[in-house]
């Protein structure tokens, strides 16, 4: 089991140290070890000096902490699943700045496109995001649906 200890001493004036214990699905190459160390320490700490070492096993206090953190995460996720099972969802209208349409129009005027996120077959355009959304709502009403803007979550996508 390839567990690694990634550690460094760092800091001007007063020395500090930090270490991380990470599991990987495979043994890291020297280049991958260097990249992992740099990702954690090189850009976030002052003058870090350290290494990445392959472990035979985790220190017992680290293993105990990781087991407890995993159990706590499972419990929290179980609670969240119960909450999500009772949570109501609302449909979504997604709008975006339509660069393809703007190129056809010569970059003027600005064109937004709006669509139902779950049904992208119906789209509408407008000079602003609000006009594109209003145009989509009109199209939905014409198709026989009784909808208003407050029935939807409006997102930029």
Cα–Cα distance measured from residue 131 to residue 19, given in angstroms and rounded to the nearest whole number: 53
CA 73 to chain centre: 18
Which contacts of 148-151 are long-range, i.e. CB under 8 A and separated by 24 or more positions?
151/90, 151/91
Residue 20's pLDDT band (boundaries 50, 70, 90)?
Answer: very high
Q: What is the pLDDT of residues 33-65, one digit of tens each?
A: 999 999 998 887 788 889 999 999 999 999 999
**Which two three-digit tokens encode residue 152?**
């939807």
Residue 107's pLDDT band (boundaries 50, 70, 90)?
Answer: low
Residue 28 has pLDDT above 90, yes or no: yes
- What mean pLDDT comes out for the span 69-83? 98
Q: What is the pLDDT of residues 139-148, one digit of tens each?
A: 999 988 899 9
Residue 5's pLDDT band (boundaries 50, 70, 90)?
Answer: very high
- What mean pLDDT comes out for the span 70-96? 97
């Amino acid at each position: 089991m390839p567990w690694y200890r990634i550690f460094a001493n760092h800091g001007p004036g007063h020395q500090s140290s930090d270490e991380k214990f990470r599991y990987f699905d495979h043994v890291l190459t020297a280049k991958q070890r260097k990249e992992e160390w740099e990702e954690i320490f090189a850009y976030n700490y002052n003058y870090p000096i350290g290494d990445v070492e392959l472990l035979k096993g985790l220190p017992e206090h680290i293993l105990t902490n990781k087991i407890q953190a995993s159990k706590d995460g499972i419990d929290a996720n179980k609670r969240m699943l119960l909450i999500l099972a009772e949570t109501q969802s609302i449909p979504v209208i997604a709008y975006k700045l339509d660069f393809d349409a703007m190129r056809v129009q010569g970059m003027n005027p600005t064109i937004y496109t709006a669509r139902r996120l779950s049904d992208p077959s119906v789209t509408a355009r407008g000079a602003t995001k609000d006009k594109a959304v209003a145009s989509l709502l009109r199209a939905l009403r014409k198709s026989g649906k009784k909808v208003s803007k407050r029935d939807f979550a409006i997102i930029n996508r």
